[in-house]
Structure 1
Amino acid sequence: MNTISAFEASARLMSFTKAAEELHLSQGAVSRQIQVLEERMGVPLFNRRHKEIQLTRAGLIFQQAIAQSLNTIRRAVTMIEALDTSTVTIAASNAMANFWLMPAIFEFRSQQPNIDIRVLASNTPVDPWQEPVDLAIRYGDGHWPNLTKVKLFEEEIFPVCAPGYQQAHGIETLQDLMECELIEYDSDTAESNSWDTWFENAGLHVDAVRKNLTLSNYDLVYRAAYSGKGVALAWAYGVPQEDRESLLVRPLDISVKTGMCEYIIYADNEELSSPAKVFLDWLIDFGKRSLWA
């Protein structure tokens, strides 16, 4: 461990002298420890030049391995420190965090003010085994190894628009929708975001669907719809309860279930903290009563 510490400091600072100062050793002691490490490995780790050093190919490989190991240790320490706290960390996609999770947290905190919630919002799926989170909300088919999965709700998608837009366009059939301004949510996360896919699954087969406005952010899609710019696709959980029927309405009583679901996941065989268990049970209950039926 002493030789590894000497190497890590020397490689990071690119100086035996600075490494010695950081480790409170003499420059000669650091040099000897590096030499011992090189002799054990059988390869030089540094190219030594006048008053400077450079990593060899072997040294660079070893430095990267040490950096990865230190990051793993730091994550583990963070996770361990969080075990005995009243804070629950949950990860979710940006849209899920904004439109469903945050309203849930506001209501939860009004009932459980002593439990703090930390939200990690990211469209990159989070692995509870690798990241310091207690829980995560993940979209998909649920086929993920080494994870405990609790289904929140099945994905259900339907058209929405502003009340005034519905009245002005007299939307009564799927064919009527084809004559409307369609707002497309352009996302890489799910093919079901597309109007083409939705119409096909709803039973209307057309060669191509003309989209009048394509946006890469669901918040912008939502804003465009309630501003009367057209009809958008929404998720049963994706419209705040206070905006249903006031800012947005469902012009047709037609929806498509994709077979995909939103799950709450956590590390398999992981013992959740008491606050995390309370929050998990509460989210499951909130999920049952928060969907736009």
Structure 2
Amino acid sequence: MATLTASQFANLHTFLVAARRGSFALAAQELALTPSAVSHRIARLEASLGLLLFQRLTRQVKLTQDGERIFVALQASWDSLHAAIAGSDALAGSITVHARPSIAQCWLVPRLAGFAAQYPDLSIDLRVGNDSVDFRAGQVDLALHYGDGSFPGLASRKLMDEWLAPVCSPAYAREHGLQDAPQHLSSATLLHDTLAWPACAPDAEWRLWLDVQAPGVRLPACSLRFDRADLCAQAAIHHAGVAMGRRQLVQPWLASGQLVLPFGGFTLASPQAYYFVHSGRAALPARVQALFDWLLVQGRGQTRRV
């Protein structure tokens, strides 16, 4: 078997970083090189392999099928090498996590200090957004989604369930006479998370709750719409209307008294739940498994209704 030269090893490492970042420019920043140097290293690697590893697009690069195949193998080898260097009992390195904005803001971020204290040699690169995650490029290790558990082509595991109930500020409840009177919602402003879960109707959560808890009440004409549940809750705190609260997200604001439950507690189980999602192409690296297991423990403490 041929031995890798220092130059070939450097080219492979450059390819690994560029594939993970999806950008020659970002790879150059990480490697303290110029984008031109990164491009030349990739070109030399492609020439030596006789393969095209990247599609060069206007503002980005994308792995070809050959590039993705080599990236998966190289990433697994790199993880094994890193673990061997660190030692069998050591956990170190970076974990890239993608999460929907609301669960990141209200649930995940407040818990990260505990993870950092337990795993001081692991760092987390948290990215948020409502867009779909492309695991093929290898830029994300683990995603945290709110959905029905259907993630075609990916591996997933439930983190925790969710329950729904309307929430508003105490002042808004008094002003509109809402306490134990859902029929008065007809004169209120409803706050909608239009992207509550993939491909849902803009008012899906409210229709779900009304159909079960207040079937005689119609949706009022006045509403405000957001693409994040935490923004709905913030608007409710500032007396803009009544939001459909998700227990896992709004509990701190209920505890502080900024929000109230005018129609009672969280009695309606959501058909959606929070899931870990990953590519499933191979076993999770030890560093990612550590975060996965730690978050499962956190989620188990959130399953009791209030």
TM above 0.5? yes
The whole-number CA distance in structure 2 between the counterparts of 1:113 and 1:212 is 45
Given the alignment of the two structures, is residue 263 of structure 1 paired with residue 275 of structure 2, yes or no?
yes
Partner of 2:242: 231
Partner of 2:6: none
Given the alignment of the two structures, is residue 151 of structure 1 paired with residue 153 of structure 2, yes or no?
no
Q: Deviations over 1:57-95 (max 9, x none)?
A: xxxxx977xx64469738938955567352121111122
- Among 211, 224, 228, the residue aligned to 1:213: 224
SS at match of 1:139: strand
CA contact (8 A) 1:125 1:138 kept: no
Partner of 2:71: 76
The whole-number CA distance in structure 2 between the counterparts of 1:125 and 1:244 is 33
SS at match of 1:137: strand
The whole-number CA distance in structure 1 between the counterparts of 2:71 and 2:251 is 36
Q: Deviations over 1:217-258 (max 9, x none)?
A: 434322211112221111122226365342112222254323
**Counterpart mapping for 1:162-181 below 5 A:** 162-168=169-175, 169-181=177-189
Partner of 2:296: 284
CA-CA distance at 1:206 after TM superposition = 4.2
CA contact (8 A) 2:186 2:218 kept: no
**Counterpart mapping for 1:238-249 below 5 A:** 238-239=249-250, 241=252, 244-249=255-260
SS at match of 1:238: helix
Count of residues in correspondence between the two structures: 235
The whole-number CA distance in structure 1 between the counterparts of 2:183 and 2:154 is 43
Partner of 2:131: 124
Partner of 1:198: 209
CA contact (8 A) 2:185 2:220 kept: no
Amino acid of the structure 2 residue aligned with 1:96: I
Q: Deviations over 1:87-133 (max 9, x none)?
A: 12111112222222211223322333222111121211214344322
Given the alignment of the two structures, is residue 95 of structure 1 paired with residue 106 of structure 2, yes or no?
no
Task: Summarize the Cα distance change of 1:213–1:72 in structure 2 as closer, same or farther, 3 Å threshold.
Answer: farther
Task: Summarize the Cα distance change of 1:177–1:110 in structure 2 as closer, same or farther, 3 Å threshold.
Answer: farther
CA-CA distance at 1:271 after TM superposition = 1.8
Q: Deviations over 1:126-173 (max 9, x none)?
A: 143443222111232223344332111233221111233334435113
The whole-number CA distance in structure 1 between the counterparts of 2:254 and 2:121 is 29
Higher mean C-alpha displacement, 278-287 vs 137-146 = 137-146
Amino acid of the structure 1 residue aligned with 2:71: A
Identity of aligned residues (%): 24
Task: Summarize the Cα distance change of 1:267–1:200 in structure 2 as closer, same or farther, 3 Å threshold.
Answer: same
The whole-number CA distance in structure 2 between the counterparts of 1:172 and 1:130 is 51
Partner of 1:50: none
Given the alignment of the two structures, is residue 134 of structure 1 paired with residue 141 of structure 2, yes or no?
yes
CA contact (8 A) 1:193 1:233 kept: no
Task: Summarize the Cα distance change of 1:232–1:82 in structure 2 as closer, same or farther, 3 Å threshold.
Answer: farther
Task: Summarize the Cα distance change of 1:216–1:138 in structure 2 as closer, same or farther, 3 Å threshold.
Answer: closer
Amino acid of the structure 1 residue aligned with 2:142: L
Amino acid of the structure 2 residue aligned with 1:154: D
TM-score normalised according to structure 1 size = 0.66
CA contact (8 A) 1:151 1:262 kept: yes
CA contact (8 A) 1:184 1:211 kept: no
The whole-number CA distance in structure 1 between the counterparts of 2:111 and 2:169 is 24
SS at match of 2:249: coil
Partner of 2:287: 275
SS at match of 1:258: strand
Q: Deviations over 1:41-67 (max 9, x none)?
A: xxxxxxxxxxxxxxxxxxxxx977xx6
SS at match of 1:143: coil
The whole-number CA distance in structure 1 between the counterparts of 2:295 and 2:259 is 25
The whole-number CA distance in structure 2 between the counterparts of 1:72 and 1:226 is 51
CA contact (8 A) 1:183 1:211 kept: no
Task: Summarize the Cα distance change of 1:277–1:63 in structure 2 as closer, same or farther, 3 Å threshold.
Answer: closer
- Structure 2: any 5+ residue segments left out of the alignment? 1-38, 41-54, 83-91
